[in-house]
Structure 1
Amino acid sequence: MSASEEPRMQNRDYEILAIESGLEEFVRPGRNEPWYWHRSLDVVYAADAAILSGRLAQPLAAWARRLGKPFRPELAYLCSHGIAYVAPWLTSAELTAAARTVLWVFTIDAATDEPTDPTAIQEQLARRRCVARGAPPSPHDPIAVALSQIRRLVAESRWGPDLLSHWEEAADSSLTGTEFKFDAAQRIAVGGPVPALRDYLPHPTGSIGFDLIALALWANMADPNLPIAIDMLRQPLADASAALRAANDLRGYNRERSKGTIDALALGMSSEELANRMSDHLGDCCRRLEPLISAGFGPAIATERQLLWCVRYYQHTDPGHDSEPAAG
């Protein structure tokens, strides 16, 4: 049965039930309304996630205040909501590294899109790469300090010995993608060449930070199969990152254009092509995760939920930024 057939069958079952119950005229108008299709959201588990996000948000905001600018404590609630709803079976302590990572991704993105000192960015990014591998951070670089603290949380987690090298690789990829976008924007600003679309596409999937967040999220999951299944998650993570980058570029195009940064649309891809790219990678990710999800593998379940949550957010708003119309 296709996805398009399922709602029709459910509607038909609902209609028959209404007729048999003598409620046909009362029930029929509501069966295609949003409240009908949202009935599958379990309100008890939604309440659990809401409570959990509240427990995450206050400590996360306090952490941001301790770090200081450019971290924004007011983003703590946005970061906490997403992480809590993605993996509500974990405790607030177990979700701390992932919630901090979300805030870190928002912060480094904003700091490089609107640098107060562009000449220092290159050196900072190089030093942060070393921090991701375990070097001590400069106390004058809050982004590096935060990265070091997140690294320590991952290293000390349940699966730290198994995940740390993967986390370091993801952190390096995130910083490399950030550097590529920053360098390209700086060159364009002084009349330099615009990068080719084929050169752009592989890099920003790292800077979107999806795999960095996912690894921090998995680090405290109790699933005993994680060490042997980690390689099976590599391609789904790559697909998820590509899908989310496409969603981000679609939503943030107007904002990024005003700041002189680059994205797929600015480099020549049409909105339709980019939307298709997002859909293709999202579908590929979910199909690759399905066998693991069917087997009850927690990290796969969390990864699918994380991707769907993030893409849905970008369909409605530009997380961490003021709301604005999507491209196209």
Structure 2
Amino acid sequence: MSTEPLAATFERTAEQGRICSVATRGHRDLQERVASYPALFPDPPVDGAMLSALAMSTAFIAPWCTAAELRTANRTSLWVTAEDWRIDSEIISLEEATATVAACLAVAEGGAPAADDQLTQFLADIRDDLTATPGFARLGHLWRDELRRMLDAELREWQWRANSASGTALPSADEYLANAAGYGATWVNISHWIATDAVETEEQLAALATASYAVEKVLRLVNDLASYKRDVKGGDLNILMLGLDEEQVRKQAVDQADQCQKLLDPLTRVSPRQVAYLRRVLDFTVGFYHGTDFWGVR
């Protein structure tokens, strides 16, 4: 029988209820985005459970945030899903993939999206929301740089998959992990920090981004462990296809997580909330991928 005071139990349970309320509001906003841009989100794999899991993850990673404060994190995560699906599953030529990346980068720079392109229309919505925030004028170039980094990584992986299909050599495991920016987490994190006015200087954001890159590599590893069978069936790349077994990948994830802590510890004094956020990104995602992943059954 628990000896915890009843008041403490109530307080903790009430806080969990509040977080779930934030997640529910986020889920509804994501449903509205999917309804606004239906061409981007085929069901499957983007089903209701995926949207719920996405909104729940941001709510538990940043439990101090309101639903409004998490809107950009949710929407950028959803946009990454759409972009990933477009490049991984719908584009059939390098020329088309390169043109898609160029169109997205042009919109990020302020260009108008094409009338028939929901991917860049959704990105323009995110850009316009961020442009209205206090810090975007001084930090927006880092947001655009990270978007470019993420999309370049996606292009590189597209080429690797094409090479695999044609019998050309695959990347090494180290090369694959160094390309983890394609996972999209750091771009989402930078978007969230700008949207919530969480950083003051370029130097602060750049230091946090460096730590986020290290976290992103762990996410890439644990995601690959969770999605290997699906990736084999769908023709996607996975680090387990590149000469490592599950035990080696788990050890690499542990070692990389230790490296994350070494990068995060010195940042605690200047950016305590953002460091807590990155640690919760790491811990929550590792726990989540222990049992499932975000994509619905294709």
Using structure 1 for the length normalisation, give the TM-score: 0.78
Q: Give the aligned length.
A: 285
Query: Which of 61, 65, 89 is the equivalent residue of 2:31?
Result: 61
Amino acid at match of 1:255: R
State the SS of the aligned residue for 2:39: coil
Structure 2 residue corresponding to 1:42, chosen from 9, 12, 18: 12
Alignment match of 1:118 (pick from 82, 92, 116): 92
Quote the residue 1:138 is aligned against. Answer: 114
Aligned partner of 2:125 in structure 1 is: 149
Distance change in 2, residues 1:104/1:170 (3 Å): same
Counterpart residue number, 1:185: 161
Which residue type is aligned with residue 49 of structure 1?
A: I
Tell me if the contact between 1:61 and 1:76 (Cα under 8 Å) persists in the aligned partners. yes
Shift of 1:94: 1.9
Higher relative contact order (CA 8 A, sep 6+): 2
Change (3 A) 1:224 1:233: closer
Question: For each residue in 1:17-75, what CA deviation from the matched residue of structure 2 results, as whole angstroms up to 9, or x when unmatched?
Answer: xxxxxxxxx67xx9xxxxxxxx8x93232211111111121122111111112224623
Relative distance call for 1:296 and 1:183 in structure 2 (3 A) is closer
Q: Taking every aligned residue pair, what percent have the same amino acid on both sides?
A: 22
Q: Is the 8 A contact 1:86 1:306 kept in 2?
A: yes
Counterparts of 1:225-244 in structure 2, within 5 Å, are 225=200, 229-244=204-219
Greater C-alpha radius of gyration: 1
**Residue type of the alignment partner of 2:280:** R
Structure 2 unaligned spans of 5+: 4-8
Amino acid at match of 1:189: A
Q: Structure 1 CA distance, aligned partners of 2:276 and 2:201?
A: 12
CA shift, 1:224, in A, is 6.2
Q: Quote the Cα distance in structure 2 between the aligned partners of 1:223 and 1:174.
A: 22
| Structure 1 contact 167–215 (Cα < 8 Å) conserved | yes
Q: TM-score, normalised by structure 2?
A: 0.85
Q: Measure how far apart 1:291 and its partner are.
A: 4.2
Q: CA deviation at 1:306?
A: 1.7
Contact 1:137/1:148 (<8 A) preserved: yes
> What are the equivalent positions in structure 2 for 1:1-328 lying under 5 Å apart?
42-71=12-41, 72=46, 74=48, 75-115=50-90, 117-119=91-93, 120-203=96-179, 205-221=180-196, 223=198, 225=200, 229-293=204-268, 297-322=272-297
* Structure 1 residue 240: Cα displacement: 0.5
Residues in 2 aligned to 1:187 and 1:176: alpha-carbon distance in whole angstroms: 17
Task: For structure 1, list consecutive stretches of 5 or more residues without a partner in the other structure.
Answer: 1-25, 31-38, 324-328
Aligned partners of 1:296 and 1:199: how far apart in 2?
A: 31
User: 1:98 Cα deviation (Å)?
Assistant: 0.8
